[in-house]
Structure 1
């Protein structure tokens, strides 16, 4: 039987296609972006909630350790790709962000293969929060002052993506020496 944190992770993954549908299909008219926004916010909150519940009630599982980061990447990467499709975000920014996720995932797999668990850093958490705020602002697309705020969060997300990658690689450089 699945515990609550794992059910939240699965629910987040199930929300992704509905998010993409409302972002891109256009059949809901202008309401589509607001429905997509609601789905994205709820899915983002499940990310916080599942981790909190798993730690608080000692419900951490191998399934959760593997699927929770995957669900997060699926949600964020889907949103970023939708924003490129809608011509709201430059593709190179999405490539930098997704590229970082592939590198970190590769490192985690190599480390896990060697019995090493690599915890998330504060830089990675700041990166995730900045990306989610950026995505929320870009979905809302309110213009005016919010356009300035969007751009600030785009650059902040890119900077934190690169900083968190460098920090991660430096702190875990021994993972590379594990390979022969």
Structure 2
């Protein structure tokens, strides 16, 4: 297993530790919250690093194309779910963002059954980056950034919807070939 794939696996392994610290004491203890935030930031950095290393060193694999987006989904969706009881995001918003992830994962599974690998698009990458930045901003809880937080909440929702439309448009053959 190459280094980029190991970083992808590490990101998945870090998720329970992130959730533990974020939700410890109801998210009210800033020390635990910032430890969780540090874990999230490190895990998010591995997303950038594994992609960079894979492309730079020609280590792009089908495993990486499939597992990297799943590790991203696990990290981001866990964070989004944690932000509901912390009062940072409404449940309806999180349902929309996670619903998109289920749809795209379904596309990928059907495509894989037909030996097609659907790699992340530029819109999908932008969506993930905006969500990660939004999560970081919300976890920081800096009152003077409330307006910036709202911008990232709206931007993340817009990119989520845009990337969903882009995936469906570009991969509509997966639906027809999948017998839907």
Deviations 1:78-137 (Å, cap 9, x if unpaired)?
100110021110011110010000000101111121122222211111111110111000
Give, in angstroms, the shift of residue 66 of structure 1.
Answer: 2.6
Bigger mean CA offset, 102-111 vs 2-11? 2-11
Report the 3-state secondary structure (helix = DSSP H, G, I; strand = E; otherwise coil) of the residue aligned with 1:161: helix
Q: 1:26 to 1:129 in 2, by over 3 A?
A: same
Q: Say yes or no: does 1:157 pair with 2:156.
A: yes
Runs (5+) with no aligned partner, structure 1: none
How big is the alpha-carbon RMSD for the aligned residues of Structure 1 and Structure 2? 1.5
CA–CA distance in structure 2, aligned partners of residues 179 and 22 of structure 1? 41
CA–CA distance in structure 2, aligned partners of residues 124 and 108 of structure 1? 13
CA–CA distance in structure 2, aligned partners of residues 30 and 96 of structure 1? 28
Counterpart position of 2:123: 123
**Cα pair 2:134 2:149 within 8 Å, conserved:** yes
Counterpart position of 1:7: 6
Counterpart position of 2:44: 44
CA–CA distance in structure 2, aligned partners of residues 11 and 117 of structure 1? 22
Give, in angstroms, the shift of residue 46 of structure 1.
Answer: 0.2
**Cα pair 2:66 2:119 within 8 Å, conserved:** no
Give, in angstroms, the shift of residue 152 of structure 1.
Answer: 0.7
**Cα pair 2:69 2:120 within 8 Å, conserved:** no
Counterpart position of 2:64: 64
Report the 3-state secondary structure (helix = DSSP H, G, I; strand = E; otherwise coil) of the residue aligned with 1:60: coil
Runs (5+) with no aligned partner, structure 2: none
Bigger mean CA offset, 116-125 vs 126-135? 116-125
Give, in angstroms, the shift of residue 63 of structure 1.
Answer: 2.9
Q: TM-score, normalised by structure 1?
A: 0.93
